[in-house]
Amino acid sequence: MEKRRRIVVVGGSAAGPKAAAKARRIDNDAEVIILQKDADLSMASCGYPYYVGGFFDDRNMLICTPTGVTRNPQFYFNAKAIDARVNTEVTAIDRAGRTVLFRDTVTGETGELTYDKLIMATGSISRIPPVPGVDLEGITTLQSMKDADFLRKIGDEGKIKKAAVIGGGLIGIETCEALQLAGIEITVIELLPQLLTFLDWELAKLVENHVRSKGANVITDNGIAAFLGENGKLTGVKLQNGTELSCELAVVAIGVRPNVKLAQESGLEIGETGGIRVNEYMQTTDPDIYAVGDCVETLNRITGRKVLAPYGDLANLQGRVAGENAASENCVTFPGTIQTGICKVFDYTAGSTGLSEANAKRLGYDNIVTVINASPDKPGFMEGKLLVTKLVADKKTGMILGAQCIGPGNVNRQIAQWAMAIQGHLTVEDVVNADLPYAPPFSLAIDHGIATAHILQNKMKGRMKGISCAEVHRKVTSGESPFLIDVRQPEEFEQMRLGIGETLMPLGALRKCFNEMPKDKEKEIICYCKISLRGYEAALVLEGNGWKNVKVMEGGVLAWPYPREK
């Protein structure tokens, strides 16, 4: 009789169990073993912030199947014939002997297991700032069930009044919302000039404004210098600029790094990014060892470079690929990531796919074109909500390189469709006439994303000279004096306006008011409205009547990230 193949999986959070389950499905005869250091298995770790924030109360929902069965070793054994061992830490891999050594974290007992194929899913480790005071009581991360339980208890008890969230990335923002909903006064502290670095600055700033509008404090461009404490307990944080803030709780969310200790000690190659190097089969430099999830580096499909992409969805997809390959010899590949992400931020959603302008430039893409578009997601009569999108495309080919979208509107659909568009190598010209689902409860007749492509097409054809809010702001604050015209109705101007020296000139009156326009036809004129659709029409009218240097401020008043007069 043929020997049963033994597949050992190290790690039981997301990618590991998926790999194990897939391996079992592919090879019904294989022996599939998961070695999991923690007490829990297959935790929905992306759900922690929502448990902490009180979106649901039953913590078991994080470790149960949809029908309420806890994913414990018994479940794995009965439902999947997988031997899942918890509290079992793998301490070393003997690659020559194809053996793993492990230790029971409760009893301390050790043991070893041979394998035919090994799948490493060792996950990631929270980065901790190298500053004094990190061991004080009251400092936590939000990376484990234990962390989630700790923070949920704090929220439920209602004793803690002030907390600092160190880091304004995805997890930082989700944690900020969760704790703020629990009634805690929050300050988010971010070292970089903006929150959510998957967004370009202008969009991140709009998100920041929304976070502030919810009562949370945001400090950017300022890192933590020290945690302050008394009697071993956290009492505050000191920032790099000397500011001290009092707080009784600090959540560190400055990102994660791949947990590659075991891989490194075993002599597997680690990539420049710090993640385990794998090929398209999710195979490490040892052909008998696969690696998946947060511990690996992943190919960026757009740039061709390796990146770290610690996302739960990719972990699952990689697990599926590695599980199949480990069970049946390499036959399926993982193509990589386009770094799609999405994040709830109170009543806003922020999402991104592909390259931001900043990332594109950092990577040497200098022949790109971008546009910002603001519009409702649905008609006004169906209570449409604002979306602000920034699209990045290659100037020569028109290929879509990236899209970001934020706002209270349906960002989810926008990012999903852009992600598919990028994976289908669609160009701006393709998207301009895309056939997308339209009915008033679901979108505008011309979908927000299609309209964004229309504007970018107009820019690329030279019909519209766009200028960003940031550039207008720079001009105004540096003393340049472009002729600024707001082409909205007087009522709209009364309700909300920038107050940067603009002239109100409603589009409908524009053709009668050319005498109020600059005499110098070379003078720089910048038009805008609420979302700059009327602004665009105004620019065309002025250009049609001889003005030569007319620009449209992209996204209009709704995309303006700076303080307004009104």
| 112-141 positions binding a copy of itself, by CB under 8 A | none
Please list every residue from 174 through 203 that binds a copy of itself, using CB under 8 A.
Answer: 174
Can residue 366 be called a binding residue for a copy of itself (CB under 8 A)?
A: no
- Minimum distance, C-beta of residue 389 to a copy of itself, in the bound complex (Å): 14
Can residue 462 be called a binding residue for a copy of itself (CB under 8 A)?
A: no
Q: Which of 274, 509, 514, 548 binds a copy of itself (CB under 8 A)?
A: 509
Handedness of CA 303, 307, 313, 315 (dihedral sign): positive
Can residue 438 be called a binding residue for a copy of itself (CB under 8 A)?
A: yes
Report the residue number, 2 or 230, with the smaller CB distance to a copy of itself.
Answer: 2
CA 333 to mean position of chain CA atoms: 24
Q: Judge whether 544 and 502 are in contact, CB under 8 Å.
A: no
Across the beta sheet with 368-376, the strand order is 341-345, 348-354, 400-407, 386-394, 368-376
- Minimum distance, C-beta of residue 550 to a copy of itself, in the bound complex (Å): 12
Please list every residue from 78 through 97 that binds a copy of itself, using CB under 8 A.
Answer: 78-81
How does DSSP assign 364-416, residue by residue?
A: T--SEEEEEEEEESS-GGGT--EEEEEEEEETTT-BEEEEEEEESS-HHHHHH
Report the residue number, 249 or 327, with the smaller CB distance to a copy of itself.
Answer: 327
Measured in degrees and rounded to the nearest 5, phi and psi for residue 258 equal -60, 140
- Minimum distance, C-beta of residue 92 to a copy of itself, in the bound complex (Å): 31
Can residue 532 be called a binding residue for a copy of itself (CB under 8 A)?
A: no
Q: 3-class secondary structure for 285-345?
A: CCCCEEECHHHECEEECCCCCEECCCCHHHHHHHHHHHHHHHHHCCCCCCCCECCCEEEEE
Q: Which of 169, 258, 351, 407 binds a copy of itself (CB under 8 A)?
A: 351
CA end-to-end span of the chain, whole Å? 81
Q: How many angstroms separate the CA atoms of 84 and 287, rounded?
A: 24
Q: Judge whether 76 and 84 are in contact, CB under 8 Å.
A: yes
Q: Which of 5, 6, 47, 549 binds a copy of itself (CB under 8 A)?
A: 47
Report the residue number, 224 or 291, with the smaller CB distance to a copy of itself.
Answer: 291
How does DSSP assign 155-209, residue by residue?
A: HHH----EEEEE--SHHHHHHHHHHHHTT-EEEEE-SSSSS-TTS-HHHHHHHHH
- Minimum distance, C-beta of residue 290 to a copy of itself, in the bound complex (Å): 16
Options 260-268, 364-372, 419-427, 551-559: segment touching a copy of itself (CB under 8 A): 419-427
The site that binds a copy of itself (CB under 8 A) totals a number of residues, namely 105
Q: Which of 109, 269, 288, 313 binds a copy of itself (CB under 8 A)?
A: 313
Please list every residue from 440 through 459 that binds a copy of itself, using CB under 8 A.
Answer: 440-443, 445-447, 450, 454
Can residue 289 be called a binding residue for a copy of itself (CB under 8 A)?
A: no
- Minimum distance, C-beta of residue 179 to a copy of itself, in the bound complex (Å): 17
Closest of 150, 9, 14, 31 to residue 71, by C-alpha: 14
Collapsed DSSP state (helix, strand, coil) of residue 549 = coil
Please list every residue from 257 through 276 that binds a copy of itself, using CB under 8 A.
Answer: none
Collapsed DSSP state (helix, strand, coil) of residue 522 = coil
Options 3-11, 60-68, 180-188, 203-211: segment touching a copy of itself (CB under 8 A): 60-68
Report the residue number, 239 or 315, with the smaller CB distance to a copy of itself.
Answer: 315
Give residue for tokens 């009492």: 235
Please list every residue from 10 through 39 that binds a copy of itself, using CB under 8 A.
Answer: 14, 25-26, 28-29
Can residue 379 be called a binding residue for a copy of itself (CB under 8 A)?
A: yes
Options 90-98, 246-254, 488-496, 548-556: segment touching a copy of itself (CB under 8 A): 488-496
Give residue for tokens 């078991």: 60
